[in-house]
A and B are shown apart, each in its own frame.
Chain A
Amino acid sequence: MYVRIVLLALLLTIPAFLGFQIMFLAVSAVILAILTLSWFYMEKETGFVSLGHSIPFGLSAYLAALNPYLIPICSLTLLPFIFFGKTIFPFATFVASIFTWHFSHYIIIDGGGEEGFRVESFDPSELYIASTIFFIIFSIFFYFLSKSNFGLKVKAVRDDEIAAKALGINPWPMKIVPTIISGIISSLAGLLHAKLFGHVSPDIFSPFFSIFPFVAIMIGREPLVGSYLIVVSSWFLSPYIPEFHYLVYALILIVLPYVRSNRGF
């Protein structure tokens, strides 16, 4: 436990002293770690495996360019899919994310389309501090939420909905509230991502972002470690194999069904 905390603290602090390029890479990894954290909370607590977290993530980035006042609605975008049930949920969210990816090419309002939109960017060093603080706060928040009375009810519904009902727990709030919380945090990650790059294009809805949290958890076990591993390895190998991260995604998805337990699928 202590080793993990020290390792995570090092991952969060060391890049700040290693020059602009490394810090930029670290901000990107921490922002994606926030996205992964929001995904992991939903998967771990409710058992719903989302392959569509790119929707709140990308939509908030788009709305940062178009109309920031509408960003709160991004947190509700995953809500309709929980009515499909746990088995269909991963595929329904994935198809929706691919649909959004294609549809986003047709969003043209004074620019847009394939080119995307310009977003007012922030200084990466400020974003580094902000995203690190957000990551720590959300990690602590999820830890205590998981241990709370509400968190135990959510887990009870996840493990056995009928038994939870028999105990007088209404299952729907236990699915809806974690989905909204996860949506809010992934929307925030999307907003930070847009502010980092100063630009948003349809690629933000691509399978890279929709499957990223899933793969990050599979290879890193921790949102931060997994995000760092993917971002750093993709960056180092991109001059040789630009599609490296997608190949990793594919291999993990191919091998995963043989090694993963039935929870979530």
Chain B
Amino acid sequence: MITLTFIFSVVIYSILSLLFLICYRVCKILNLSLGSLYTLGAYSYTINPLAPVFLGIALGSFLHFATRSLNLSKATVFSLGLAILIEEIVRINVRVQYVISDATKIEIFGFTTFLEHFISFLLSILILTIFLILFLTRVSMKIKVVEEDWELAEVYGIDTKFIRFLLILISSSLFCIIGGLYTSGSVLYPTMGWKILIFSIIIATVANFFKENAYLAIPFMSLLVCTLELFC
């Protein structure tokens, strides 16, 4: 059980850190609202399993349109305000501090786990694989140009605003969806997203030191952080 949970954690922290780092490097925003989106996903999943998808898309779109004309610092302050707003709206609606989320038990290779955790693991693996494939194609070149120089990318005819919109949308939705799935079977509380955000920031910050290989370094950093967490 611990082995399976450990593998799930490494993969899920990898994808969440990757999304956080993409937001920072390509979209020029330290998206501090991602932790609250994770919490929102967790709570909304208990009401309707599809709710995290819609909420992620809606809030991701809102964040993009609200911050598209702001610089990195101002966009980050905005995302912090959004994070607190989401968390407090959850708190006002839930009132009860702790909610237990339902989950379905399954058995994989003799280990008992939750179906929702397994789905979030598969989803994370899928996104990581897609990202790896994209890394080898022309699409990633476009993203890299936007990452390196926003204005130069526009000169080359790349639709930078669309790329930013798409990446914020994907990251917000996935944080919401993974929040809904991966917290199933556990106790929910309004501040739970901060821990996930801190872990993602730590992994992304360390990986960022590897510059152009930062995205590839993320799974290894995630493995290191999860191992440290396991022993601490």
Residues of A at the B interface (CB closer than 8 Å) are 51, 87, 90-91, 94-95, 98-99, 101-102, 207, 211, 241, 243, 246-247, 249-258, 260, 265
Contacts and interface: CB of A to CB of B under 8 A. Distances in A.
Given A87-B72, A265-B74, A254 B194 contact: no
Contacts of B80: 51, 94, 253
B125 interface: no
Contacts of B70: 257-258
A250 B77 contact: no
Interface of B: 30, 32, 66-67, 70-78, 80-82, 84-85, 87-88, 91-92, 194-195, 197-198, 201
24 contacts: A51-B80, A91-B32, A94-B32, A95-B198, A95-B201, A99-B198, A101-B194, A102-B198, A207-B84, A243-B88, A246-B84, A247-B85, A247-B88, A249-B84, A250-B81, A253-B78, A254-B81, A254-B82, A254-B85, A256-B78, A257-B70, A258-B70, A265-B73, A265-B74
B85 A256 contact: no
Contacts of B81: 249-256
B30 A91 contact: yes
A219 to B, nearest CB: 14
Contacts of A250: 81-82, 84-85, 88
Q: Give the dominant DSSP class at A's interface.
A: helix
A101 B194 CA distance: 10
A55 to B, nearest CB: 14
Contacts of A258: 70
A172 to B, nearest CB: 23
B204 to A, nearest CB: 11
Contacts of A257: 67, 70, 74-75, 77-78
Q: Which of B66, B73, B78 has the most CB of A within 10 A?
A: B73
B73 A90 contact: yes
Q: Which of B75, B81, B92, B194 has the most CB of A within 10 A?
A: B81
Contacts of A207: 84
A12 B150 CA distance: 52
A207 B30 CA distance: 17
